Structure 1
Amino acid sequence: MTATESHTEVRPADAPADAPARVIPESLPLQPEDPPRVGEFWLRGRLGANAAGYLYTASDETGRDAVVAMMTEGSADDAAARERFVNAVDELPEDAVLAHNDADDDDLALWVAVGPIRADDGSSAASDEHLIAERRGEEVLSAVLMDRVPHVGRLRGPDFRHYWESRRRPGLFRIWPLPWPNALRPASRWALVLALLTMALIMALAVFLAWLLFRHAAPLEPQPVIPTPTGTVTVTITPTTPPPGTGSPTNGTTPSLTPSTGPTTGIPTGIPSSPGTPGDPGDKF
């Protein structure tokens, strides 16, 4: 049963006989703070709420419908309220409790799935089963809130109020495995696929533009100088064009400067060739 499938038709008394009936949904849409799933049940809509917890309409992967009662964050943080929730669940008929989480999960809100509820086939039996499950869920939350405990003696002074009643957000929950993409509708699945394809196209376009901009880039000048193990660099200069005004070289040959076979002329690179050498710039610091 989904939030859009469950509804009630109401016709005002003063309305004409041929006027369309006003459709009142039996469950409200889920809010952003509501869990999409608890245990094996996917939540479909809100049936009711009070300071103790929320009632949801839900169904599992097999299509089995249920009513889920879940504590608020305020009541879930109170040990006495959690104990009242557990006791109320234990008092339900054994076949009415479809699933529930462990009471030892102190960091999570307690919940219980109440049923069984047959598929909504329009019969009165299906409506009665849903109504009975909803009433049982209300009884569990009322036991936590203690709003149906009869008063003893005369009413005097201010009314009783729990200290956690203002904390009415749904209690903490844990989802594993993650709800998506199972909870997505077909339209949402297509939107997710199109978004991923758009991101991939934008990244490919950015890489292509970067290749167009830098494919003809000149190499770095000057070239990095890599010193030899001795701390010196041998430089070979081979001019191809004489400077203006100096004339051409004799016999049309081009002078070439090549390294000699004798001692190599070194250019200091700031790396001492040997520790403690006199005159080495590295020894001055």
Structure 2
Amino acid sequence: MTATESQTAAPPEAPQPSPAPPPLPDALPLLPEDPPKVGEFWLRGRLGANAAGYLYAAADESGRGAVLAMMTEGSADDASARDRFVRAVDELPEESVLAHNDADDDDLALWVALGPLREDDGSSSAADERLIAERRGEDVLSAVLMDRVPQIGRVRGPDFRHYWENRRRPGLFRIWPLPWPAVLRPASRLALMLALLAMALLMALAVLIAWLLFRNAPEVDPGPVIPNPSGTATVTVTPTTPPPGSTGPGTPTSTTPGSPNTTGPGPGTPGTPESPGTPVDPADRF
């Protein structure tokens, strides 16, 4: 090889690194109508939605990621739609179904957790697992919606539409135990504790003010008249008893038949019967 050939020879090319996989779009934030937890999976965000249901990014208590497909309230109330959901889940590979609820729960929306998903470390395998799980969830919801059924014959007349497509809120769900306070962040836990403490202090202050205002209030006198079971009220009257051996005007006295001055006025006060030495019986006044 001559010097000219050695100068013109190109150096060997360095191996080019493989292009990085495109980043997956982040999930949309949850809305107030979305459940915070379905089964044993905490929801992190929305991945997609149609009239048949929603796709959520989820993770269980151990941090295992999953894609969760859940029916809407409209599709969950249709028995045929529920059957299509169950058949679509049964057709999936067994290792891809992490969990699902019972098809006999008529009052709850059906859901299925798909995976397994590894932690997103930027590798192409992690991205592929998530894309596959999302595609399987879309297939399940499309089976419920029947939007991928091939058209037979020519298109004529109005388009087909389910009667429940306008009811697109997430279906009914059950959470037990309650999601809080496990789902709260440390800052949220502190705010909750301070709010409860403030409520307790306000209640204690209200009770103290009420006690200070009414502690010297006079008692109600006379007391209320409480009727007995017969419907009449009992009133106690204390009679005034004159001293023995004395009679007053208008006070009847007991007399012995046959004794003098049993009728008519005596020598004393006119019109007043007298019986000297006879005690007065208070019971004769009534």
Normalized against structure 2, the TM-score is what? 0.70
1:217 is aligned to 217
Q: Where does residue 64 of structure 1 map in the other structure?
A: 64
Aligned-pair CA distance for 1:213: 1.8
Counterpart-to-counterpart distance in 2, 1:222 and 1:147: 82
Q: Is residue 87 of structure 1 aligned with residue 91 of structure 2?
A: no
Which residue pairs with 1:54 in the alignment? 54
More displaced 10-residue stretch of structure 1: 85-94 or 143-152: 143-152
**Match for residue 113 of structure 2?**
113
Counterpart of 1:232 in structure 2 is: 236
**Aligned in 2, Cα 1:175/1:101: closer, same or farther, shift over 3 Å?**
same
Larger Rg: 2
Residue equivalent to 2:201: 201
| CA pair 26-220 structure 1, distance change in 2 beyond 3 A | same
Q: Take 1:38 and 1:49, find their aligned partners in 2: how far apart are those partners? A: 16
Give the Cα separation in 2 of the matches to 1:114 and 1:264: 97
Report how far residue 69 of structure 1 moved. 0.3
1:175 and 2:179 aligned: no
Q: Quick one: distance in 2 between partners of 1:173 and 1:100?
A: 13
What CA distance in whole angstroms lies between the structure 2 residues aligned with 1:213 and 1:56?
57
Q: Comparing 89-98 with 171-180, which one deviates more in the overlay?
A: 171-180
What displacement does 1:75 show? 1.1
| Structure 2 unaligned residues grouped into runs of 5+ | 1-21, 227-233, 241-280
Question: For residue 145 of structure 1, what is the aligned residue in structure 2?
Answer: 145
C-alpha contact 1:234 1:265 (8 A) present in aligned 2: no
Per-residue deviation, 1:224: 7.3
2:45 partner SS: strand
Percent sequence identity over aligned pairs? 78
Query: 2:188 — aligned with what?
Result: 188
> How many Å separate the matches in 1 of 2:80 and 2:193?
48
How many residue pairs get aligned? The number is 221
Distance 1:225 1:153 in 2: 90
SS at 1:137's partner residue? helix
Shift in CA distance, 39/265, structure 1 to aligned 2, threshold 3 Å: farther
Q: Shift of residue 55 of structure 1?
A: 0.3
- What SS is found at the alignment partner of 2:70? strand
Is the 1:72–1:167 Cα contact (8 Å) retained in structure 2? Answer: yes
Given the superposition, is the C-alpha separation of residues 188 and 25 from structure 1 closer, same or farther in structure 2, using an over 3 Å criterion?
farther
Give the whole-Å Cα distance in 1 for the aligned partners of 2:97 and 2:176. 22
DSSP-derived class of the 1:83 partner: helix
TM-score normalised by L of structure 1: 0.70
RMSD, matched Cα: 2.8
Equivalent positions of 1:262-277 (< 5 A) are 263=282
Quote the Cα distance in structure 2 between the aligned partners of 1:114 and 1:265.
100
- Paired letter, 1:164: W
Q: Any idea what SS the aligned residue of 1:154 has?
A: coil
Q: Deviations over 1:52-88 (max 9, x none)?
A: 1100011111111100001111111111111111111
Change (3 A) 1:196 1:232: same
How many angstroms apart in 1 are the aligned matches of 2:284 and 2:190? 72
**SS at 1:42's partner residue?**
strand
Kindly provide the CA deviation profile for residues 167-201 of structure 1, in whole angstroms up to 9, marking residues without a partner as x.
Answer: 11111111111212222222221111111101110
Check 1:264–1:173 CA distance in 2 against 1; reply closer, same or farther (3 A cut): farther
